């Protein structure tokens, strides 16, 4: 075979894409209940949007972006995540001026990161994410977390673990940054090159460095929670209270820093607890980003959101042996006997499909036996048999695949009859 899938990507074949459709429908439905509206942004954006938005000291921007020059010499990047694009659109379309605030948006679409592929880590993956912009009420932090948890639990996932932390407001972060610099500076030459440049620019990033994660200075690095000012502490307490009110259990993990630069105050990840899930146990992540809209050129606007990948969700469902309640099979399969019947088939199929039924027929000139087999494989509820006799009387022989019972049904009644079988 000459051509192969690019590394870290996948074909989603029909058996799998049924699951995707089910999950996506669930996401649309849930977002309607929470009153989030869908936004679709381009798959590529100006490179600078991500450098600014996601942060130029992050692994995503430094190592993982698919960046290219277009024929006009513009640097473009395949989006590595959805928040920066959503915020860009929020600013560009002046959504802050819309009557209903906060602006509550969601998206489902492919994202691209040049990562080392492994189970649960792809180079193209699909995120479902939500962003709420325009409110600094801790209740909306709890709403976003609640939506994420509901999504998983409504699909049947168990053993979910919600980890939360606060990264504090500007002042708290400034104090924490200073403490981190003092902590790492004396021995920074023992750290990787990336960490050395991170030290002055963004020492928080050192804390999620994959290379130096076992260095002893990591163990007693100053935790942000100790540097939160009063406002940040109060905010965090309020979020936690709302979560308790909503019966959502959580664990506070002071070492949760997230891999993107835009976060402040609330940060969270949802993990799957339990064996057999592989190395990657994080299902989704999100948090508050109060400075991002401004950073991207809009008016100061608070925001919060999260994103999850459908690939990891599917892995989790599989590991837990959860079958999605997918609708299987055709409503009817048309079996023709003889040339006349074959000629009459397209019209009948067309009519039944117009009536909203899922029907199919043979296009390979199979014998009746072969057609019946196909009906069985496609899990048709009934077969509709037409031959010369049926044609002459404007009727079809309807056979139930479950019981084998047959009855002659007039063409005018056929749709209702099939619908009866369908609802049985
Ligand atoms: P993130 O933590 O980078 O956050 O990604 C969110 C989720 O996307 C991860 O928890 C994981 O489910 C999935 N994901 C990330 N990378 C991969 C990959 N290589 N393969 C498969 N799945 C992956 C963000 O992207 C933020 N934009 C989330 C957010 C929205 N924060 C606020 N609003």
- Using DSSP bridges, classify how beta strands 103-112 and 37-38 pair: parallel, antiparallel or unpaired: parallel
* Residue 124: exposure state from Cβ atoms within 10 A (0-12, 13-18, ≥19): middle
Mean pLDDT (whole number) for 342-364? 97
CA of 187 to the centre of ligand 1 (A): 32
Backbone angles phi, psi at 305, to 5 degrees: -170, -175
What pLDDT score does 421 carry? 86
CA of 309 to the centre of ligand 1 (A): 7
Mean pLDDT (whole number) for 256-261? 89
Average the pLDDT over each of 115-119, 169-173, 206-210, 321-325 and give the range with the smallest value: 206-210
What pLDDT score does 37 carry? 98
Mean pLDDT (whole number) for 21-32? 98
Helix (H) or strand (E) segment spanning residue 66 = strand 66-69
CA of 283 to the centre of ligand 1 (A): 8
Q: What percent of the chain has pLDDT over 70?
A: 99
Helix (H) or strand (E) segment spanning residue 332 = strand 332-336
What pLDDT score does 205 carry? 87
Q: What does the alpha-carbon distance between residue 176 and residue 185 come to, in Å, rounded to a whole number?
A: 14
Residue 108's CB is within 10 A of a number of other CB atoms, namely 19
CA 336 to chain CA mean position, Å: 44
Q: Does the Cβ of 79 fall within 6 Å of ligand 1?
A: no
Q: Does the Cβ of 290 fall within 6 Å of ligand 1?
A: no
The CB-based long-range contact list for 360-363 (8 Å cut-off, 24+ gap) reads: 360/330, 360/333, 360/334, 361/333, 361/334, 361/335, 361/336, 362/334, 362/335, 362/336
What pLDDT score does 328 carry? 84
By alpha-carbon position, which residue is closest to atom 13 of ligand 1? 309
Atom of ligand 1 nearest to the CA of 80: 25
By alpha-carbon position, which residue is closest to atom 33 of ligand 1? 305
What pLDDT score does 277 carry? 67
What pLDDT score does 12 carry? 98
What pLDDT score does 208 carry? 82
Residues 410 and 394: beta-carbon distance below 8 Å? yes
CA of 185 to the centre of ligand 1 (A): 30
Helix (H) or strand (E) segment spanning residue 368 = helix 368-377
Mean pLDDT (whole number) for 345-362? 97
What pLDDT score does 276 carry? 60
Mean pLDDT computed over every residue of the chain: 95
274 has a pLDDT exceeding 90: no
The pair of three-digit structure tokens given for residue 346, joined into one six-digit string: 């397209």
CA of 97 to the centre of ligand 1 (A): 29
Q: 305-334: per-residue pLDDT in tens? A: 999 999 999 999 999 999 999 988 999 999
Q: What does the alpha-carbon distance between residue 319 and residue 120 come to, in Å, rounded to a whole number?
A: 12
Q: What does the alpha-carbon distance between residue 309 and residue 146 come to, in Å, rounded to a whole number?
A: 17
β-bridge partners, 38:
106
CA of 236 to the centre of ligand 1 (A): 22
Q: Which domains does the chain have, with CATH numbers?
A: 14-169+229-319 (3.30.930.10), 332-423 (3.40.50.800)
List binding-site positions.
81-83, 113, 127, 131, 258, 262-263
Q: 38-87: per-residue pLDDT in tens? A: 999 999 999 999 999 999 888 999 999 999 999 999 999 999 999 999 99
Mean pLDDT (whole number) for 219-240? 95
Q: Does the Cβ of 395 fall within 6 Å of ligand 1?
A: no
What pLDDT score does 405 carry? 95
Helix (H) or strand (E) segment spanning residue 26 = helix 14-34
Q: Does the Cβ of 306 fall within 6 Å of ligand 1?
A: yes
List binding-site positions for L-histidine.
81-83, 113, 127, 131, 258, 262-263
Q: 106-162: per-residue pLDDT in tens? A: 999 999 999 999 989 999 999 999 999 999 999 999 999 999 999 999 999 999 999
The pair of three-digit structure tokens given for residue 106, joined into one six-digit string: 């969601």
What pLDDT score does 275 carry? 66
Q: Does the Cβ of 81 fall within 6 Å of ligand 1?
A: yes
Q: What percent of the chain has pLDDT over 90?
A: 88
């Amino acid at each position: 075979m000459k051509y192969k899938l690019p590394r870290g990507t996948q074909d989603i074949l029909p058996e799998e894409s049924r699951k995707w459709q089910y999950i996506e429908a669930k996401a649309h439905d849930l977002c309607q209940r929470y009153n989030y509206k869908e936004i679709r942004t381009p798959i590529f954006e100006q490179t600078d949007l991500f450098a600014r938005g996601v942060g130029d000291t992050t692994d995503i921007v430094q190592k993982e972006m698919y960046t290219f020059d277009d024929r006009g010499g513009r640097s473009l990047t395949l989006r590595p995540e959805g928040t920066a694009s959503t915020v860009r659109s929020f600013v560009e379309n002046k959504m802050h001026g819309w009557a209903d605030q906060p602006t509550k948006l969601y998206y489902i679409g492919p994202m691209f990161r040049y990562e080392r592929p492994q189970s649960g880590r792809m180079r193209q993956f699909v995120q479902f994410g939500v962003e709420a912009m325009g409110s600094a009420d801790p209740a909306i932090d709890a709403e976003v977390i609640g939506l994420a948890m509901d999504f998983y639990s409504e699909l049947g996932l168990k053993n979910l673990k919600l980890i939360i932390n606060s990264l504090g407001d500007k002042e708290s972060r400034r104090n924490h940054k200073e403490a981190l610099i003092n902590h790492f500076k004396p021995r920074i030459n023992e750290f990787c090159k990336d960490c050395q440049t991170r030290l002055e620019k963004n020492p928080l990033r050192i804390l999620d460095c994959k290379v130096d994660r076992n260095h002893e200075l990591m163990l007693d690095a100053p935790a942000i929670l100790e540097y939160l000012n009063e406002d940040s502490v109060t905010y965090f307490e309020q979020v936690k209270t709302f979560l308790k009110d909503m019966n959502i259990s959580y664990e506070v993990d002071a070492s949760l820093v997230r891999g993107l630069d835009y976060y402040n105050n609330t940060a969270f990840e949802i993990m799957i607890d339990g064996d057999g899930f592989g190395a990657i146990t994080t299902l989704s992540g999100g948090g508050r980003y109060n400075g991002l809209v401004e950073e991207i050129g809009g008016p100061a606007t608070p925001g919060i959101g999260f994103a999850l990948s459908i690939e990891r969700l599917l892995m989790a469902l599989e590991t837990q042996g959860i079958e999605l309640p997918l609708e299987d099979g055709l409503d009817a399969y048309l079996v023709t006997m003889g040339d006349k019947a074959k000629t009459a088939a397209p019209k009948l199929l067309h009519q039944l499909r117009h009536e909203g039924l899922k029907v199919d027929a043979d296009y390979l000139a199979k014998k009746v036996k072969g057609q019946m087999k196909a009906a069985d494989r496609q899990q048709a509820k009934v077969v509709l048999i037409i031959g010369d006799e049926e044609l002459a009387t404007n009727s079809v022989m309807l056979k139930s695949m479950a019981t084998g019972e047959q009855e002659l049904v007039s063409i005018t009644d056929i749709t209702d009859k099939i619908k009866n079988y369908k609802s049985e």
